[in-house]
Amino acid sequence: MIKKSRIFGVYEDKKRKLYTINLTPGKRVYGENLVKENGIEYRGWNPRKSKLAAMILKGCPNIFIREGSVVLYLGCSTGTTCSHVSDIVGNNGFIFALDFAPRVMREMIFVTEFRRNIAPILADANFPESYLDRISQVDVLYQDIAQKNQLEIFLKNIDFFLKPGGFALLVVKARSIDVSEKPKLIFSKIRGELEKSLKIVDSRTLEPYELDHMMFICKK
């Protein structure tokens, strides 16, 4: 029995497993399980592989990604989470999926070829000027980059591409900012920095799905 969950476009069954409606029925992206019910095909969403799913299971009331949203996804990797975002925004929405590494982008290309609402961008998120010509303004920005200066990258991209009043989701990996510092301290520092220019709507740690990770949802 798969029913709607509190989150728009996300479904759950009795065991609280998450699903999204498959935009391209019959096709898998990363070996997830496909469940068919009442003629609709759902794709299982694994919180251990996707931090956004972990955030939802941690009780986040709203991820601000809806049908028709235009999303800039920084750090798409091979498109695991990205494909679920693509399911949620549907054919009326659009995703600009950016990553820096050619190797993972190679896998991503195959995903974007059959999902027509994703545009792959191979560029360094440190330099928004370098991909200005491949992108438009967006409603939602999602960032999952394991870099030391991830906050700086986040703020730069918000400044350039996020519409006023748009929402931005940031996954902070404490271990890639400083291995020796206590994660709690890093999170509170990041919170302080974010509050200078943005309004924090929600923030949760992603334990037990990911260690030393925290997700912030901010409003521009």
Partner 1 sequence: MRRLYIFSNVIGIFIFNEQFQIFDKYLFVNSEQYKNKDSIEKRFYKKYPGLKKPTKDGIKKILAFFKNKNFFEEFHKKNILITKKMIKDSINEDLLIIQAVSAIEELEKSINILMKRLREWYGLYAPESEHYLQDQERFLKCVLGEYKEEIPSVMGANFSERDLMPIIKLAEEIKRLYELKSKNELYLEGMMESYCPNLVSIAGVKIGAKLIKHSGSLKRLVESPASKIQLLGAEKALFRHIRTGSKAPKHGYIFQHPLIVNAPKELHGKIARTIADKIALAVRIDYFRGKFVGNKLRKELEERVKKEELRVKK
Q: How far is the CB of 138 from partner 1 (least distance, A)?
A: 7
In whole angstroms, the minimum distance from the beta carbon of 202 to partner 1 comes to 25
**Residue 150 near residue 177, CB atoms below 8 Å:** yes
Q: Which is nearer to partner 1, 60 or 65 (CB)?
A: 65
Tokens for 130, please give them: 């370098």
Classify residue 148 by burial, with Cβ atoms within 10 Å: 0-12, 13-18, 19+: exposed
Query: Two tokens at 170?
Result: 């940031």
Do 150 and 173 contact (CB within 8 A), yes or no?
yes
CB of 113 to partner 1, least distance (A): 7
The DSSP symbol for 185 reads: H
**Residue 148 C-beta: closest distance to partner 1, Å:** 14
Q: Nearer Cβ to partner 1, position 94 or 154?
A: 94
User: Which CB sits closer to partner 1, 18 or 186?
Assistant: 186
Q: List interacting residues with partner 1 (CB under 8 A).
A: 70, 92, 94, 96, 102, 105-106, 109, 112-113, 116-122, 132-139, 160-161, 163, 179-180
Cβ-based nearer residue to partner 1, 117 or 203: 117
d(CA 102, CA 64): 30
